Amino acid sequence: MLGEKHRQNRDTWQRRRVECITQSREHHSDLSRRSDVKILIGVCGIGQGHITRQSVIAELLLERGHTLSFLTYGPGVETLKARFPDSLVLPVYVPWVACGPDGLRFMETVRRSGWRAIPGILRDLSLIRRFRQSEPFDLCISDYEPVTARVAYATRTPLITLDQQSKLLGFETSPIGELSRKEERARLGLFFPKATKRIALSYFRVNAAPDHRFRVELRPPMVRSEIQNDDQETRPEHTLVYLSNYGSDSFVHLPDLVASLATMPNRRFTIFDSLGRRCEAPLNVVFEEIDREFFPKVLADSDSVISTAGFNLISECVAAEVPIMTIPLATYDQHLCSRTVETLRIGMGLKETRSPTPGELAAFVQQISNARHSMRTNPDVLKPSPTSTRKLIDEIEAVAKPFQDRG
């Protein structure tokens, strides 16, 4: 089922992508011939969303002839080294910054980090000093990674914050229960007090008043080229399940989830668990290892997704027109994403961190056709396209020093 159909889909998307890249290169051919723009990209190393998003951007910047270096931490170091073997990838230390409804919680941050933070802080200072003494970058880009911003400030380099969290800085979104944007706003304000340009990627229009203290521009999300919409009206009765985790524990008791899935024996489920867990399961439920190449193929073979409310996977579902049931983790951002899935009618958004019940699963399956229609027609859904991708890369280049100097 993943054979000829998906090869045709992939070939179609690749042709579109080549057309986009060709147009972009023609548009910028004169500039590219005259400059090798040096760009430093900082990527949050937590989870896969930041790395996946910035990998798309990095690949397009490399295709335009620019030189890239990366700062990241945690699993992001080895992942970026593997994906960009010809680029410099350096580890940085980023402490967990505790925040709450009242803003930054300094003492809690100190307690969490303790003496262990000192070597990492000294290493970051040494790295910043090293960049100050070397040939400067033409542009710094940060996806929720603060050391890159400090490099930009120290070297007087233009800084773009390019992430999805910044919409919580630039728009006064309403609280959800006891959660609010104040925690994320305090962290973003601490990490990135100044920026040449703030871009927030979003699969939805933010219907909230702007926060005039921070000017944030919304743009459609960027997704990897393997994610595509095959324009088929019917798809197999197959659901992709992605289980992320928050801290050291997953959000759901796996046997409970599998028990709910077992109540729909005529539907297939493929589970990807970020912790690699397994349990006894019926014949219609299979477990797979998370794999960068295999995952998009399974998504293309699915008519629906059940997942945590992570921005990146929801964006990929929007691009592929695959309705999603979201289960929010205990963060405001995830609850906001889950709520928008519900309000946009592109799936079902749960309000609690738990496994869906059999009744909720049945209701979600009944909504699949209508949800897919909403993904296509709802004007508040921001879908990625080759054109929006090219325009975003154009925006990024325009901020770099050599492009500014040419006016």
Provide the residue ranges of all domains of the chain, joining segments of one domain with +: 4-222+384-405, 238-377
Q: Residue 328: what pLDDT?
A: 93
Q: Tell me what the mean pLDDT of segment 387-391 comes to.
A: 90
Cβ neighbors of 334 (< 8 A, separation 6 or more) are: 308, 309, 310, 326, 328
Structure confidence by residue, pLDDT tens digits, 288-315? 998 888 999 999 999 999 999 999 999 9
Q: Are 13 and 225 in contact (CB under 8 A)?
A: yes
Can you give the pLDDT at residue 114? 77
Q: Give the torsion sign (CA, 320, 326, 330, 333).
A: positive
Give the span between the Cα atoms of 329 and 46, in whole angstroms.
14
Please give the biggest Cα pair distance in the chain: 64
How large is the average pLDDT for residues 189-212?
A: 95
Q: Could you read off the pLDDT of 92-124 as tens digits, one per residue?
A: 999 888 777 777 788 888 888 777 788 999 999
In this prediction the pTM is 0.86
Return the H-helix or E-strand segment holding 18.
helix 4-34
Residue 215, pLDDT above cutoff 90? yes
Distance, CA of 405 to chain centre: 32
- What's the confidence (pLDDT) of residue 100? 72
135 falls in which pLDDT band (50, 70, 90)?
confident
Q: Does residue 28 surpass a pLDDT of 50? A: no
* pLDDT at position 250 over 50: no
Burial class from Cβ neighbours inside 10 Å (0-12, 13-18, 19+) for residue 348 reads buried
Task: State the CB neighbour count (10 A cutoff) for residue 262.
Answer: 15
CB atoms within 10 A of CB 248: 6
Of 180-184, 231-235, 241-245, where does mean pLDDT reach its minimum?
Answer: 231-235
CA dist 126 to 25, 69, 122, 328, 345, Å? 37, 17, 6, 38, 49
* CATH H-level superfamily of 4-222+384-405: Glycogen Phosphorylase B; (3.40.50.2000)
CB 140 within 8 A of CB 128: no
- As its CATH architecture, domain 238-377 has 3-Layer(aba) Sandwich (3.40)
* Residue 8 pLDDT level (bands cut at 50, 70, 90): low
* Res. 230: pLDDT tops 70: no
**What stretches of 120-251 adopt beta strand conformation (E)?**
139-143, 159-163, 197-201, 217-219, 238-243, 245-246, 249-250
Tokens 């042709």 belong to: 15
Contact by Cβ (8 Å): 192, 146: yes
- Whether 4-222+384-405 shares its CATH topology with 238-377 is answered yes
One-letter amino acid of 19: E
Question: Average model confidence (pLDDT) for the chain?
Answer: 87
Pair of tokens at residue 152? 């930009």
Please state whether beta strands 88-91 and 347-349 pair in parallel, antiparallel, or not at all (unpaired). Answer: unpaired
| Better-predicted residue by pLDDT, 247 or 111 | 111
Lowest mean pLDDT among 24-38, 71-85, 121-135, 334-348: 24-38
